[in-house]
Chains A and B, each alone.
Chain A
Amino acid sequence: MAATPLQTQTVDLAARFPSAVSVDARNGYTGWLVEKDKLLEIARSIKEELGYDLLTSVTGVDYLPEEKMEVVYHAYKTTGGPGLIFKVQVPRQDPIEIPSVTPLWPGVDFQEREIWDLLGIKFTGHPDLRRILLWEGFAGHPLRKDWKEGFYEEDAKPFKSRWPEGNYVSSEEKNPYKDNLSFPKNFDPEKWIPEGEAALYGALARYTETDEQGIKSDRIVVNMGPQHPSTHGVFRAVVTVEGETILSLKPVVGYLHRNHEKIGERNTFLLNMPYTDRLDYFNSMSNNFGYALAVEKLMNIPVAERADYIRIIMAELSRVQNHLVLVGMLLNDLGAMYTPALYIFEERELILDIFEAVSGSRMMCNYFRFGGVARDIPEDVLQKIKDLVFKRLPAKTDEMDRFLSENEVLVSRLKGIPVIDGPSAVQYSITGPVLRAAGIPYDIRRADPYGIYDRFEFDVAMRTHGDLMDNYLIRLDEIRQSIRILEQAVSKIPSGPINSQKPQYQVRVPAGEAYGRIEAPKGELGYYVISNGKPNPWRYHVRAPSFINITGLEKMCVGKKIADFIAILGVLDIVLGELDR
């Protein structure tokens, strides 16, 4: 990969707003520092005049030593090309307030809530600023650098207690509460009144009507999840319904919030690699890819040629199996219990066999290293990939197509039920197949190529209606395009070393920031990493496609039937490990 950074500045923002914008001149940083008071005005200009219509990522950073809080915005054009990074800095004193950009980009809604939840930055003008991953009443904002949890041991790994005097002591024994807990001083659990979910139910639109006889009628509120067979994990939606029609819907997430970012900031750069596997647990290879890209960008190192090909092969294989699973599970949700799912899981098993043979594990591959990959593909495994790619997978995709696509019951369930239209999808920062099914051909593999995707011939799959049927068909299209890429990659793969670096467990990462993004099967997967020259990252943020794609869930579902909500959730392809992190 060429060493040019992806975020080359193309627009001189400082010249447009000389009084309110300055270049971020810190070593290793790019982008623009924007005055807090002028944020909305500048953001509007960036969106409307400069054409950066897709605000993909918003994240907060706690600069404790400098006593500052920062919010970083990554804006891109759906027509492709490098992005624009702008940042707002505020002093680190409560209350920390920054104007919300939800009026311009409604897609930042959940991301701003997440920043409020984890970092305690208030967004003025945000329509519904509640905690999102944790619960109302939780003490503190955990991603702040001075916040410590119950099992806190040290700021950075490796912990000193493990070696050389590593007598086993479980974390429970070290904590005064004998568990992963920490309470304020003189806390009395019996006097605690839980805040409950009043705020959540309050956020739902209220519908109380009085008919002509003066009888008041309310609407029913239904809780779906967190334990529900078709919410794909521990996702919960609170729905107000009238009959079968959805009037208002609020997603409730955080039931699988595993503190990926807090742990990630304690890990060294290498140690984060296996943790990324557990984000989107269907596609650990893609997750590895994005993280490796971000850190390689910081380290400014090349990737070995053969490894580049191996990476593409693995990423595309995981895209194939992800989309296959989506098709099977969507049918499961729609009531075609098991048969399609059983068929597709056979293909998935065969692909997982390959992952297992090269990396050692079926799901948690932990296969990428900075500068290459961990192990070479053995010749017999490469032969197996060829058999799959040239013979089995195309035939099975066609079989799936024949099996399902014309089925009248399926067509009547899917056709003509809109998910989201193109312009709104961009507004809501939706990426991935859902955006492309709505008629916007935005694929990072083409729009802002990473790895060696620019060497392959493939089409960006696109459908125009944006209904459920298109969302289903685009998955099959993408599988076919992935197979095309795979065919080229396995025939052209060169021999040679698989890592440009020596295998080492302590990597030196120079200070600076980097945003590595890839077209994951579910949408844009981005890693925003800040290094301050130490062995562990100062800030490590994951821009998870599942999380941001559900921001528009209410808009997609209002006015439709409950049964359609299940189907919409099915095609959105959320994975909770990534959604809640």
Chain B
Amino acid sequence: MTNENLNSPGYEIPAEMSNLVAITTLDRLYNWGRRSSVWPLMFGLACCAIEMIVAQTARYDLARFGMEVMRPTPRQSDLMIVSGTVTKKMIPAIVRLYNQMPEPKYVVAMGACASGGGPFKEGYNVVAGVDKFLPVDIYIPGCPPTPQALIAGLIKLQQKIDKESIRTVRWYRKGPDSVNIPIPILGPDLIDPRRNAELRQISSGIETDKV
């Protein structure tokens, strides 16, 4: 955030003091700190992961946004960039990683596959979009999004963080510390425990050639 933005709380500062005094709101300061140190999880799924790595390297240099520290452990990271095709075999691990991330946490669906299944959507082992399980904050179309497109998406995430307020964010409210999503089970096909009753009902009503 530029200084002007940080320094515009809505109070009039007398002209003779304008360079000496800064007034800001706690929200602004807090969001400015958080958006400038979003640490992504070092977590790559497929093709998009390569572009994510490239975005970290010299030409694009995510360090300019305070995002250069990629943590291999979910316990230390704020942002999960779902970079690639989410498969049914992988989704239990992804949900587990998400559950292990401390609040505040954000999810960016990078590329067509993570957003909605992508070109592999019709495949039998592909989850049609990670948002079936995780709450996604930003969707970046593209196959794969170029590093610049990824950065553009992350800037959008920063803008989203800017709009948050300490008073309304979920991690300072009463209730469980973080969102826990039940881990999907690998059965004859992928079982989402939240939909158990629904699945049972539908499967009793349809004809199928599966044995």
Contacts and interface: CB of A to CB of B under 8 A. Distances in A.
Q: Please indicate whether A and B come from the same complex rather than being unrelated chains.
A: yes
Interface of A: 133-135, 137-140, 142, 146, 148-153, 171-172, 176-177, 179-190, 192, 194, 226-229, 233-234, 254-259, 262-263, 266, 274-275, 278, 281-282, 341-342, 345-346, 348-349, 362-364, 576-577
Interface stretch (B8-16, B21-29, B53-61): B53-61
A278 B47 contact: yes
B126 A180 contact: yes
B210 A184 contact: yes
A190 B209 CA distance: 21
Contact of A149 (B51, B72, B123): B123
B97 A233 contact: no
A128 to B, nearest CB: 19
A189 B87 contact: no
Given A180-B128, A229-B72, A345-B58, A234 B45 contact: yes
Given A140-B210, A281-B46, A187 B188 contact: yes
Nearest to A183: B203
B206 A185 contact: yes
A278 B187 CA distance: 28
B120 A263 contact: yes
B90 A234 contact: yes
Contacts of A257: 87, 89, 125
A183 B125 contact: no
Contacts of A151: 121-123, 128
A247 B56 CA distance: 36
A226 B45 CA distance: 9
B204 A577 contact: no
Interface string B87-120: 1011001000100000000000000000001011
Interface string B66-85: 00000010000000000011
Nearest to B90: A255
B44 A233 contact: yes
A-side interface mostly:
loop
A182 B189 contact: yes
B211 A184 contact: yes
A150 B203 CA distance: 12
Interface of B: 42-47, 49-51, 54, 57-59, 72, 84-85, 87, 89-90, 93, 97, 117, 119-128, 132, 143-144, 146, 185-193, 196, 199-200, 202-211
10 contacts: A138-B186, A138-B188, A177-B203, A182-B189, A183-B199, A189-B187, A189-B200, A226-B93, A259-B120, A281-B47
A259 B45 contact: no
Contacts of A278: 46-47, 119
B187 A258 contact: no
Contacts of B208: 182-185
B93 A227 contact: yes
A256 B87 contact: yes
A340 B111 CA distance: 28
A331 B107 CA distance: 30
A118 to B, nearest CB: 10
Given A180-B127, A233-B44, A255-B89, A342 B203 contact: no
A139 B211 contact: yes
Q: Which 9 A-B pairs have the closest CB atoms?
A: A259-B123, A149-B124, A139-B188, A281-B47, A345-B57, A229-B72, A187-B203, A184-B210, A258-B120
A515 B188 CA distance: 34
A176 B128 contact: no
Given A255-B87, A258-B87, A139 B189 contact: yes
A275 B196 CA distance: 34
Contact of B189 (A171, A183, A256, A266): A183
B200 A187 contact: yes
A192 B191 contact: yes
A170 to B, nearest CB: 8
A142 B200 contact: no
Contacts of B202: 176-177
A238 to B, nearest CB: 14
B199 A342 contact: no
Q: Choose among A189, A192, A226, A266 the residue with the greatest number of B CB atoms under 10 Å from its CB.
A: A189
Given A184-B208, A363-B47, A363-B51, A341 B188 contact: no
Contacts of B192: 179
B187 A194 contact: yes
B59 A349 contact: yes
A396 B120 CA distance: 38
A364 B87 contact: no
A187 to B, nearest CB: 4
A275 B45 contact: no
A577 B203 contact: no
A227 B81 CA distance: 13
A189 B119 contact: no
B120 to A, nearest CB: 4
B210 A256 contact: no
Nearest to A258: B120
A171 B54 CA distance: 33
A185 B203 CA distance: 5
A19 B66 CA distance: 72
Contact of A172 (B46, B128, B193): B128
A188 B195 CA distance: 11
B122 A194 contact: no
Q: Choose among B90, B125, B128, B202 the residue with the greatest number of A CB atoms under 10 Å from its CB.
A: B125
Contacts of A180: 117, 121, 123-124, 126-128
Contacts of A274: 119
Nearest to B119: A275
A363 B125 contact: no
A521 B127 CA distance: 30
Contacts of B189: 138-139, 150, 181-183
B129 to A, nearest CB: 9
A183 B46 CA distance: 27
A206 to B, nearest CB: 25
Contacts of B47: 278, 281, 363-364, 577
Contact of A184 (B84, B126, B143, B203): B203
A257 B43 CA distance: 17
